[in-house]
Structure 1
């Protein structure tokens, strides 16, 4: 039964495959939809190349595969093949929408979302009934799929203002934040602190620095922080460092009371966040959303290449006082020793930064998006 006490039986298709930054918000909204109305059916779109082939089934949702439509960044032979690929993917997506009798499509960008928008959007599809579209943009700079989808959508949502589309689109989007899974938004960091530290072999007392460069790790973060291991140990700062499965970090232990724990990957990010007092990390949209949602002070180190969106992602939290922004080239072992160690040894400053980070986050974003999706889906049935 839904919050209103009635069963809707609505069918929702979420399109957010490819990377975790697209998939995790989609699954967070799917979870919220089932909480708000257990009668809702949620189907995920994906491709055989993306992380969704693992993440979606693990969360208990059916996954329908469609041909991927990667968009070439430069004029190549692939550009000539693009129209045919788009047509094939849209055709298959229409079959999925018909098969599940979709009431709404929710897209989160990437090359799974584009064919979904084109297959469902008004004025594009030849279907008997156009399926309404909801677009969510997580990044501060919108990708091409969401720029197109925004012009076809019933509702356009964004994490931050000014996502980069003129006219009817993302520049006029409703600001809702980034949907984050409930295991993160509901995290009781203080209550889990002892369990989390025991889980990772960290001391019960004293500051802990979490270092993560994302699922694949980040070499520059690895080198800068591991190079400051002696200074961290001298300052009594323990380290939990996820260096990435393709990298390697070997660090001598300088202080038994402040160990340096290096692991290739964190299977329990919730416990890692609970164990830490601050983090050094990249500033992908999903990372910023999760870190700020739990109120963890952060030193954000944006990727040094791309369109600069990682820096834009972190700016609102940094402006609120919840984090520091450091260029990749400026994150050296000396910086860690001279700036990060003193931060970890200043509990009052950490507390103030944590409160500011939590205030800048959107812990209820998943529920907010889910309510909008239900509203649009019900409107489409009228």
Structure 2
């Protein structure tokens, strides 16, 4: 690994897809710029990266996770020892791959990556959420460059300088998606009719009970309006659909492995508003009903803010997402082609489709500053 003449980049964004996908999008963009670049992803044994990273063809180095508790609990007492152990392991990885630059996206492995790289390897921090997490706030203090998806995230560079707004890196299969061109293939793939509106529903990798209950509870109203549904309910959940209309079917699946085809088949979306979800849905130009998680620090509602302000989406509180809302407001949108078209254009215009390439360019610039590129 260390014998190659290419730049060595370490990406740190393990744990959830929201941290991993931006990291892999940047990795893809780096390879597009220069195939000799070596990318190593940091991860943990319990994160989604154990499957996502190898599937995309990248080296995965496992280190002990450092979950940062949001509240004052007993777990805080064990935190220092966990940090030391993980930093030591991460430092060994950086030496093994002869890292020229580390770029972190938050999550369980970002903090040890920042601490291990401090003073030896240049650091870049990317904050995807509208409200910065603890790991990235710490990392920003030692970073050469601090990037953010949107303004006002609360993350700053050295000397309180403002973060550079670059958007969220999204993989090319999404940013370059030809929804109209793939529509027929996508609908055939999922067993959906070629004509009529389609509603896409998903609540993340594990699904979301409130979304499942609300949309499935309105299945009869959706079918009566001629609206077909493609619903990813989560692998641990089941879905009881009240109606099965061949002209407006309700297709329920545990998980969507081809999100590109799911986006191409759809006319509108009901989904959570994690940063990565908002970035992808807006990048493909789909109108959306964003349903923020009802707990946490409120970041999910903030994530959807710019798209909603541009007219490309609607935020609905988790408690207000009912079968009645779906039967009225969601059906009203999907049966109004002019409104769907206007919201689609607004959503597409509000995103940062070139974010992955821009971040990759910054990574190479910083790696050159490290003196070993």
For the criterion TM > 0.5, the same-fold answer is yes
Q: Say if 2:140 and 2:156, in contact at 8 Å, map to a contact too.
A: no
Equivalent residue in structure 1 for 2:127, among 113, 137, 141: 137
Given the superposition, is the C-alpha separation of residues 167 and 120 from structure 1 closer, same or farther in structure 2, using an over 3 Å criterion? closer
Q: Could you tell me how far 1:75 is from its partner in structure 2? A: 3.1
Runs of 4 or more off by more than 2 Å in structure 1?
A: 72-78, 165-171, 252-256
Q: Aligned-residue CA RMSD in angstroms?
A: 1.5
1:250 maps onto 2:240 in alignment: yes
Q: Say if 2:10 and 2:40, in contact at 8 Å, map to a contact too.
A: yes
Structural mapping, 1:187-202, within 5 Å = 187-202=177-192
Structure 2: unaligned runs, 5 residues or longer = none
Equivalent residue in structure 1 for 2:11, among 10, 14, 22: 14
Q: Say if 1:163 and 1:171, in contact at 8 Å, map to a contact too.
A: no
1:324 maps onto 2:299 in alignment: no
Counterpart of 1:150?
A: 140
Equivalent residue in structure 2 for 1:338, among 307, 311, 328: 328
1:68 maps onto 2:58 in alignment: no
Distance 2:202 2:159 in 1: 34
1:112 maps onto 2:102 in alignment: no
Equivalent residue in structure 2 for 1:230, among 207, 220, 238: 220
Equivalent residue of 1:381, what SS? coil
Q: Could you tell me how far 1:82 is from its partner in structure 2? A: 1.4
Q: Could you tell me how far 1:183 is from its partner in structure 2? A: 0.9
Q: Could you tell me how far 1:166 is from its partner in structure 2? A: 5.7
Distance 1:363 1:175 in 2: 13
Q: Say if 1:278 and 1:298, in contact at 8 Å, map to a contact too.
A: yes
Q: Say if 2:129 and 2:275, in contact at 8 Å, map to a contact too.
A: yes
Q: Say if 2:12 and 2:113, in contact at 8 Å, map to a contact too.
A: yes
Distance 1:156 1:163 in 2: 12
CA deviation profile, 1:131-151 (whole Å, cap 9, x unmatched): 100000000011100000011
Distance 2:303 2:94 in 1: 33
Distance 2:209 2:171 in 1: 28
Distance 1:254 1:202 in 2: 12
Q: Say if 2:143 and 2:158, in contact at 8 Å, map to a contact too.
A: no
Distance 1:170 1:288 in 2: 28
Q: Could you tell me how far 1:84 is from its partner in structure 2? A: 1.5
Q: Say if 1:56 and 1:63, in contact at 8 Å, map to a contact too.
A: yes
Equivalent residue in structure 2 for 1:379, among 356, 369, 373: 369
Counterpart of 1:284?
A: 274
Q: Could you tell me how far 1:256 is from its partner in structure 2? A: 2.2
Structural mapping, 1:1-382, within 5 Å = 9-122=6-119, 130-165=120-155, 168=158, 172-253=162-243, 255-381=245-371
Distance 1:288 1:34 in 2: 25
Structure 1, 70-79 or 276-285: larger mean CA deviation: 70-79
